[in-house]
Amino acid sequence: MEVLRDGITVINRRRDKSSDLVRGKKGYHHGVHVFEVNWPTDERGSHPMIGVASVDTPLSIADFTYLLGRTSDSWGWNLATKELFHDGKIHGQYPTRNPDFEVPETFYIILNAEDGTLSFRTNFENLGVAFRGLPNQDKTHPLYVSASATFAFCRIRLKYKCSEGESDFTVAPLPTGHSYYKFNSENRGRFVVIEMRGRVAKKRSPNVDRDNSVVLTRQPLKFDEAFEVRLDSVHAQWTGNVEIGVTTNDPRKLAIPETMADCEVGETLLWSGDWLLVNGEAKDGVTMEEDLEDCTVGDRVGIVRRRDGCVQFLFNGRILESSIRFGKQSQDLYGVIDLYGKAGRVTIMESETAAARVTYDLTTSMREEFENNHPNAIMFRMRDIVDKIKCEQYTSLREELNDIASGILLPFYQSTDQNLRRFSVIT
């Protein structure tokens, strides 16, 4: 094993048939300590072991086997088979209550040297105690976080996270239910990681990275079905926060910008702070009722595409009054999340719950907006006429002039609504 210059990453450079072990720099005999482990899932092989060991544990053995957990002074978890090893024996499956559990790329070790236990957790779940009866409060037997591997050139990062109580280290709930929407993991911001089969997006190093964390949905938005995410972590040293919107850009082809407000291709509608941005420019006369800058852990933000061309926004399940016409019915729109500033991680909520909550569950005043004589509905019809003219969809000049007269000129003269009259002139 070779330790890189950053002091927290090791590479297993051995090519021969052997198992090698690496220990952390410091041993612990008291206190509760949390360590972050990053081990890519495609670099684990058959015996990827993680756990703790004493200074007496061998560092190498001439075979492809488990090394950590082979002796009486080491305890190891095989990330491939999910088996626990100690003193050369298997001590059962872990976690015991979830046999289908898949160990993510990043997870955490909790060494409790006060009561002699070793536990693991992910960003979303506390997996429980793996081992009990470890040496505790014994200066002669300090324990070191350790890893052993057989996979050649695998990279393992062991990073001290915190002592218990020194951090706001929390466990976010696991994604529940089914979601039609998933994040596109193949094309994303360079500082963002996609986990939980596309349901979770998080920054690699939220205390270091402020931007370069844009993600798009893999699927285009369905009509009348909410794309909704929950904010799972925030980091107060930054300004700015989660941003949500829609874009006409194909997530497979877009050159992801540092922030989605900087995107210069296609069309993008973005809720940022208390503004609505269209291609990075604030929409005149539109101020959102909620300021995303104030979002905190547990808040939910969402967006719904309606069949009439209207895009609506949600905050903690409530449909906001601010809405905007965006895109054409025949055009694919994709959801956008920008983990900007304080936003560290988000989870996509289940589709059924979100859809049931927002599918035209409107107040009486909002329903009026879709009635024929409401000024907004009239403006939508005006825009449809303009779109048909631009796309040369009229089959005769007579049909075109009739729609202009009845759909634009007549409402202009009959209505006293200033926004509608102004829109008619611009149209």
**Residue 322 is inside which H or E element, if any?**
strand 318-325
Q: Which of 341, 345, 305 is nearest to 326 (CA)?
A: 305
Amino acid identity, position 87: D
Q: Mind listing the pLDDT tens digit for each residue in 57-71?
A: 888 877 777 889 888
Q: Provide the pLDDT confidence category of residue 211 given band limits of 50, 70 and 90.
A: very high
pTM (2 d.p.)? 0.54
Determine contact, residues 257/322, Cβ cutoff 8 Å.
no
Name, of 11-20, 244-253, 275-284, 370-379, the range with top average pLDDT.
244-253
Neighbours of 107 (CB within 10 A): 20
Q: Which of 267, 271, 266, 293 is nearest to 282 (CA)?
A: 271
Long-range contacts from 350-354, C-beta under 8 angstroms, 24+ separation? 350/175, 350/176, 350/177, 350/178, 350/179, 351/177, 351/178, 351/179, 351/180, 351/181, 351/225, 351/226, 352/177, 352/178, 353/177, 354/225, 354/226, 354/227, 354/228, 354/302
Amino acid identity, position 24: G
Domain ranges of the chain: 2-163, 192-361, 371-426
Q: Mind listing the pLDDT tens digit for each residue in 380-418?
A: 677 778 767 766 667 788 888 888 888 888 887 777 776
Per DSSP (E only), the strands in 133-267 are 144-149, 155-163, 192-195, 200-203, 214-220, 227-234, 243-247
Neighbours of 282 (CB within 10 A): 13
Q: What pLDDT does residue 255 have? A: 95
Name, of 37-41, 84-88, 336-340, the range with top average pLDDT.
336-340
Domain at 2-163, CATH class: mainly beta
Per-residue pLDDT, averaged over 66-77, amounts to: 90
Q: What pLDDT does residue 373 have? A: 63
Rounded to whole angstroms, the Cα distance separating 194 from 187 reads 10
Is pLDDT of 34 > 50?
yes
Q: What pLDDT does residue 37 have? A: 92
Per-residue pLDDT, averaged over 227-240, amounts to: 89
Q: What pLDDT does residue 364 have? A: 37
Q: For 52, list phi and psi in degrees, rounded to 5.
A: -135, 160
User: Which fold is adopted by the domain 192-361?
Assistant: Jelly Rolls (2.60.120)
Q: What pLDDT does residue 82 have? A: 93
Is pLDDT of 243 > 70?
yes
Per-residue pLDDT, averaged over 210-216, amounts to: 95
Is pLDDT of 335 > 90?
yes
Per-residue pLDDT, averaged over 3-14, amounts to: 78
Percent of the chain with pLDDT strictly greater than 70: 86
Per-residue pLDDT, averaged over 327-340, amounts to: 92
The distance of Cα 324 from the centroid of its chain, to the nearest Å, equals 25
Q: Provide the pLDDT confidence category of residue 234 given band limits of 50, 70 and 90.
A: confident
Question: What 3-state class would DSSP assign to 362?
Answer: coil
Q: What pLDDT does residue 215 have? A: 98
Question: What 3-state class would DSSP assign to 250?
Answer: coil
Neighbours of 311 (CB within 10 A): 21
Tell the residue number behind the tokens 């209550």, with chain if given: 97
Q: Provide the pLDDT confidence category of residue 164 given band limits of 50, 70 and 90.
A: very low
Max Cα separation, the chain? 96
Question: What 3-state class would DSSP assign to 118?
Answer: strand
Rounded to whole angstroms, the Cα distance separating 161 from 38 reads 12
**Are 2-163 and 192-361 the same fold in CATH?**
yes
Distances (CA, A) of 176 to 269, 347, 349, 401, 416: 28, 10, 7, 53, 49
Q: Provide the pLDDT confidence category of residue 244 given band limits of 50, 70 and 90.
A: very high
Per-residue pLDDT, averaged over 289-298, amounts to: 90
Q: What pLDDT does residue 267 have? A: 94
Is pLDDT of 422 > 70?
no
Provide the mean pLDDT of the chain: 84
